[in-house]
Amino acid sequence: MPRLPILSGKQLAKILCKHFGFTESRIAGSHLILKGARNGQAKTIPIPLHPEIGRHLLSRILKEAEISREEFENAL
List Cβ neighbours of 1 (8 Å cut-off, separation of 6 or more). Answer: 69
Q: What is the pLDDT of residue 2?
A: 81
Q: State the pTM of this model.
A: 0.90
Supply the DSSP string of 9-33, one letter for each residue: HHHHHHHHHHHH--EEEEEETTEEE
How far is it, in rounded angstroms, from Cα 25 to Cα 73? 24
- Contact between 69 and 4 under an 8 Å Cβ cutoff? The reply is yes
Q: Which residues of the chain have pLDDT under 70?
A: 1
How far is it, in rounded angstroms, from Cα 75 to Cα 20? 9
Q: Which residue segments constitute the domains of the chain, with CATH numbers given?
A: 9-75 (3.30.920.30)
Q: What is the pLDDT of residue 40?
A: 84
Q: What is the pLDDT of residue 5?
A: 92
Q: What is the pLDDT of residue 65?
A: 94
Q: What is the pLDDT of residue 39?
A: 82
